[in-house]
Amino acid sequence: MNADAQAPTSSIHVNGSRLELIDRGRGRPILFLHPHIGLDPFAPVLALLASGGRLIAPSHPGFGHSERPPGLTTVDDLAYFYLDLMDELDLADVVVIGSSLGAWIAAAIAVKSTARIARLVLANPIGIKVGDRETRDIADVFAMVEDEFIAHAFADPAAGKRDYRAMTDDEVMVAARNRETAAIYTWSPYMHDPKLKGRLHRIRIPTLILWGMADRLAGESYGRAFCAAVPGAQFETIAGAGHFPHIEQPKAFAERALAFANANI
């Protein structure tokens, strides 16, 4: 990995809380919202996205080294937080790209306001209830041991393996903090907001749903149901990827996202 790909994190204060983020590249702003497993600052997809504009990739409040104010306990809270972040940075014509939990947050932002947002890319989004009360739409990640989670989430399990013995104390702490914070935001109700599906019709900007075809946490029918709830949304699959296509297929992911961002629709 070249030195340019290893962008150091910086920070900004939003409503008095310190937010860790990566801010690199130039041009049209691209806000990347990471999944519940956290943000890897060395992930190849970040350099690829930054080639297409000014990439802003924060660690959500409570993830990484970002502070989480006590009042932030839901994805709805995070949506308002990121609206404030865009105000703080005075961003316009933003392309918001979210993965999994990040896609849920992106959709929750867009149903509230798209005043600063031009395009939306949602990769393997979660956040809505598709089946009936007795049907589990999304596998229970908190009940899985890590090997089971990796087998469900990745097309190639090797892509999700982590050697905790080789990690620094800080890296282990961040991994534990990410899991704890993910549970705060997504545990109850599990991985969805009961009101979000009925609000997705309010997303009135061009939207692309990207779906890793090997996702065993949530099936393709779930992704297509999410897409159908967003007016005019496009649905595209990515082969060789599971729930996190930005990790397993970063080049294809970035190319699809940037092509959509720049398309004449």
User: 171-190: per-residue pLDDT in tens?
Assistant: 999 999 999 999 999 999 99
Q: What is the pLDDT of residues 97-116, one digit of tens each?
A: 999 999 999 999 999 999 99
Give the per-residue pLDDT at 2. Answer: 40
| 237 pLDDT above the threshold of 70 | yes
Give the per-residue pLDDT at 133. Answer: 84
Instruction: State the helix-helix crossing angle for 169-186 and 101-110, rounded to 10 degrees.
Output: 50
What structural domains and CATH numbers belong to the chain?
Answer: 3-262 (3.40.50.1820)
Tell the burial category of 265 from Cβ atoms under 10 Å away from its Cβ (0-12, 13-18, 19+): exposed
Give the per-residue pLDDT at 71. Answer: 93
| 4 pLDDT above the threshold of 60 | no
Give the per-residue pLDDT at 242. Answer: 98
Say if CB 62 and CB 181 are below 8 A apart.
yes
| 262 pLDDT above the threshold of 80 | yes
| 80-105: average pLDDT | 98
Q: What is the pLDDT of residues 16-47, one digit of tens each?
A: 999 999 999 999 999 999 999 999 999 999 99
| 6-17: average pLDDT | 85
How does the average pLDDT of the chain come out, rounded?
95
- Select the more confidently predicted residue: 140 or 265: 140
Confidence grade of residue 5 (pLDDT, cut at 50, 70, 90):
very low
| 54 pLDDT above the threshold of 50 | yes
Q: How far is the C-alpha of 164 from the C-alpha of 113, rounded, in Å?
A: 40
Give the per-residue pLDDT at 150. Answer: 98
Confidence grade of residue 157 (pLDDT, cut at 50, 70, 90):
very high
Give the per-residue pLDDT at 265. Answer: 63
Say if CB 9 and CB 38 are below 8 A apart.
no
| 137 pLDDT above the threshold of 90 | yes
> What is the model's pTM?
0.96
Q: How far is the C-alpha of 144 from the C-alpha of 230, rounded, in Å?
A: 31
Say if CB 197 and CB 225 are below 8 A apart.
no
| 6 pLDDT above the threshold of 50 | no
| 225 pLDDT above the threshold of 50 | yes
